[in-house]
Amino acid sequence: MTDKPHITIKGVKDGLIFLFDDSCDFAELMDELRFKLEKSHQQLLSGPLVHVHVKLGSRPASEEDKEQIRSVIRQRGNLLVQTIESEAPRPDPAGASEAFKLMTGTIRSGQTVEHDGSLLLLGDLNPGGALRCTGDIYVLGALRGMAHAGTEGRTDVIIAASQLRPTQLRISDVISRPPEEWMSADASMEYAYLEDGRMQIDKMNQLVRMRKEPMLFKGV
């Protein structure tokens, strides 16, 4: 066995927790589990039934992997596996920024912001300014410039704003109708989307009809 253990066993009120290293090879992990149960933790194999909770860290585990873990543990006397859990991997900060971006401030005339993913602007997009994203665009402020969502061809994205008064909207390769055709005096937040290849405008409270859940924080 290696000097550094890959499995830590802790006693808790309702049984035992097996903490598995999520960076070593799975086969090596199983060898150590067998060794601990057969050689170094014989005291666990006697007495009343003990519930075991297995924590895999961020290691992804298939059902076959989980069954192998259960099989090794349940062969050792009085241990009963209750749960086997993996944590969601922590997103890489660089990767997260590629999927979703939060901005504050004002995009002024002559400025263009481009982003690979979805973007939330806490501020205004002024006339002459531009936002270009491969994902969704959300503006918690006045959108009075040019906004282009789905720059790489996605058609399931939206452009939403507290005040939707753009010089131009574009989703994928579809350009908005003339502003006078869809501008309203309603102060509620609106969003633009594609339906049958044409751009439509609706209130944000109707987004649920288009999506079961907002895509803002899902990444793209």
pLDDT digits 0-9 by tens, 117-135: 999 999 999 999 999 999 9
- According to the model, what pLDDT value does residue 219 have? 39
Which domains can be identified in the chain, with CATH numbers?
7-85 (3.30.160), 93-210 (2.160.20.70)
- Predicted confidence at residue 3, as pLDDT, reads 60
Output the CA torsion sign for 131, 135, 139, 145. positive
What average pLDDT does range 138-158 have in this prediction? 94
- Across the range 163-168, mean pLDDT stands at 91
Residue type, 147: A
**Which of 39-53, 170-184, 187-201, 206-220 holds the top average pLDDT?**
187-201
The pLDDT confidence band at residue 171, using thresholds 50, 70 and 90, is very high
Q: What is the pTM of this model?
A: 0.52
pLDDT digits (tens, 9 = 90+) for 12-31: 887 888 999 888 888 988 99
C-alpha span between 183 and 180 (Å, rounded): 6
For the residues of 139-208, what is the DSSP string, one character each? EEEEE-SEEEE-TTS-SS--EEEEEE--SEEEETTEEPPPHHHH--S--S-EEEEEETTEEEEEEGGGHH
Task: Express each pLDDT in 55-103 by its tens digit.
Answer: 988 888 888 889 999 999 888 777 888 888 887 555 444 444 446 889 9
Which of 192, 195, 188 minimizes the C-alpha distance to 179?
192
Rounded Cα–Cα distance for residues 50 and 14 (Å): 8
CB 20 within 8 A of CB 55: yes
